[in-house]
Structure formats: C-alpha cells, structure tokens
Homo-oligomer: A and B are copies of this chain.
C-alpha cells in the first residue's frame, strides 16, 4: 500500500485501519473516507483486509506513449496467464530499471487483486501497456531502436552467458517472455532478433516465468550500466537505489 500511495485517487479506512495506518493515511494526497469494518470487508476481495483500501486508476497507456523517449529496457509478456507471475514480473521490471512492460493480447488482466498485490505498487511506477498484438509490439519496439530478444529453451538459441561475454546486451533491449505452459508463439519467435536461453546447470527442466524474467532483466541492467558507467544511465528512482528482501 505504501508503495502505491502516490498513485491512489481514493482511500477508505475502517476504525481499525484508521488507528493502525494513521501515518500512511496522513501522508496520502488523495481523499480518505472513513467506513465501517463491514463496508471495507465488502469492498475488499481478501479474506483478511488490512483495514485500509486504496483505489488506483485503470492502466491506460498506449504503445507509442510507453516507448516515447529513448527506452533502453522493456519486457513483453505474451499471453501470460498467471496473475501472480505477471505482477512479480512488473515488480522486477521496475526494480531492474525497465522503461515499460507490455502485456500482449490474451494476457491476464493485471487489475486483478493477485497481480496488484504481487506487483507491490510497481504497476503504477512504470508504463504498463495492455493488449497489443505481438506483431504490433515488436514493430513498435524496433521503431524505438530496441533489439528484441526472445527467451527459448531451444538448443539452437544463444546462451545468455555467451551474450553477456560478447557485450551483446549493452544496447537497448526488449525481452519477450512467453506463456507459462506454451512458451512464446511461433510468431513471436520469428519476429525476434535473437532467441536466448538461460543456462541450466542442474537438473531443472526450466525456470519459472518470473524468475526467468529476473535473470534476463538483471543481466541486461548490469550489462548496460557497466558499459555506460553509473553517471550515464540515470536511475528513475530513489537516489540511494538500495533494496533487499
């Protein structure tokens, strides 16, 4: 809730929430409406609401607006089905300093509670584009000067570590990741500039979608920043840029 606070347009608090979250409510820039516990419970979809409930605007940004400027890191989920994964990818993209997230047509609705909670506020920290076709998305990414990399388990794909070794990840990059069960479509794989596989050193068959995104996005963030030096790639966020788990 704290992370989403600057994005909220309305807040509701029951008597318990008014006491427990007094500092948060005092810091809010939007109107705060006191409600009974019963009203809050009816509004919330969780079994044990936290006593406060915020309303944020629907995500509404088009591809052209999201890719305006000179984006250096973008993540595209093609028809991602699991809202928890989607929210976690948005949170990771935010942490890695990505400029935008695109959820192509057929993706899960990110406004659902599971996705919103998994994103920990990041849905309102960077542009999240909903519903374009993968064809339109890749065309827009190319027009914005991004190299488009598709994750793949195929033996013919380029190894992520090898790409890091050759400096292939230092430029502006968009990562395409596919549906949890089906992977990327043939269309997406064909439109990408390269297919890339994350090395598996043990006996796992593959990685979870959100962890695969984390490995790729942090590999790109590190490659871009090492090349540019810390002064040239500006962090969008907090000056100390520190975090943990």
Contacts and interface: CB of A to CB of B under 8 A. Distances in A.
A241 B200 CA distance: 5
Interface string A196-218: 01111111111111111111001
A242 interface: yes
Contacts of A68: none
Contacts of A151: 244-245
A78 to B, nearest CB: 10
A237 B241 CA distance: 37
A226 B201 CA distance: 13
A108 interface: no
Interface string A76-109: 0000000010001001111111100000000000
A211 B214 CA distance: 6
A245 B3 contact: no
Nearest to A207: B95
Contacts of A153: 242-245
Contacts of A218: 198, 215, 218-219
A244 B183 contact: yes
Interface of A: 2-3, 84, 88, 91-98, 118, 120-122, 125-126, 151-155, 157, 161, 164-165, 177-178, 180, 183-184, 197-215, 218-219, 221-222, 225-226, 233, 235-238, 240-245
